Amino acid sequence: MEVHLHNIALDELSKLSIEKLQQKHNSHICRIFRAAQDGLVDIVCVTAFELPEEVRSYYYKILDMGGMGSCRDRVHFVAPEMAGRLPSTLSTSKLLSYSPKTLARIRKLVAGRPAYVMSSQPTSEDIQVSLQLNMPLFAGDPSKHRYFSTKCGSRSLFKRLQMPVLKGGYDIYNMEELINTLAILIYSNPRTLRWFLKIDNEIEGRGLAVVSINSFAAIRTFTRALNHTSIIAAEFTETEVIKAIAEELSADLEQRLKVCDKQAYSTSKSFLDAFLLRGGVVEAGAAPSENKVTSLAINFIIEPNGECTVVSSHEKLSQGHKTIGCICPCQKTCEVNVEHVARSLHRHLWHQ
């Protein structure tokens, strides 16, 4: 039996600015489609709120159409009875830990069979629930998971494994470091006209802002000249050019910065404050286009015995800076060796 907990692991302040937070918690509910493929596995799906009967019927219908037969006796949807009575920013796991009736119902559904808890993003709250249910938690160390799930942590991991990453810098926590990093990147990559600032622990494009080189008059002039290195070298040294770029960035960055999600961060100042408080990365970026494949995602499982199983892969389809869908599995034109990437990550993470 698998007990699935659906959470978004964000700090309380970030949750306050998310629309329909409870629905976001349930966004990982599609995991039941993978788990239900094994006819010997029963599933308890713990949702952030009680799902209406028509929604539950919809999922059962999809499972039936997918060739898994009637799953009403194998897939059980439960919601903490304290949902709606406690603050909406509490995670599903925290609500469940305060809901003795729902905990008792889960124990009854398990009825002594082998069972474990699965979480979207493991936290200390999930550990508490697993202890209350007396079931193991199928997850790694929450602190390490949290680190490798951040922008800085994942970039550090990919760099350590010598995987290709976009030009950029990471672990940036103060304005001087941000200005110097940007100035050096602009000097070293004059053909890159857009740079993304990404807040370390944000999700779904919320913590994203764009620096457009064309909005800075002096920097625009320098980058055009840098494409003709003999001209710029004859008039300025490298240090002088970087210093001039940094000076204009220092003067105008806040005014020129374009925040992508105004609901999360209404002004450039609030974005930069959050960026420097939580840390973040700077990455090269292309101009947005309609319905564009922007990145590859690989889902794999590291079993308790160390074995690795690739579950799926997909390409994210974006509109502007938001993911609106995906192409699954990866198309034949994808040049990434999915198995090789998964095995490389697995070997490193297993030893963590």
Mean of the per-residue pLDDT values for the chain?
84
> 233-238, long-range: CB within 8 Å, 24+ apart, which pairs?
238/187
> Which sequence spans correspond to the domains of the chain?
2-141, 163-285, 289-350
Report the C-alpha dihedral over residues 34, 39, 41, 47, rounded to 10 degrees. Answer: 50
At residue 3, the pLDDT reads: 94
DSSP string of 3-68? EEE------HHHHTT-TTHHHHHGGGTTHHHHHTTSTT--EEEE-SSPPPHHHHHHHHHHHIIIII
Task: Please tell me which of 56-60, 98-102, 219-223 the model is most confident about, judged by mean pLDDT.
Answer: 98-102
Burial class (CB in 10 A: 0-12, 13-18, 19+), 276: middle
**pLDDT tens track for 272-329:** 999 999 999 999 986 555 445 567 788 888 888 888 888 888 887 777 677 777 777 7
- Average pLDDT in the 17-42 region? 78
Q: Which residue has the tokens 């970039």?
A: 155
Cα 27 from Cα 329, distance rounded (Å): 20
Look at 155-159, 200-204, 264-268, 285-289 and tell me which has the smallest mean pLDDT.
Answer: 285-289
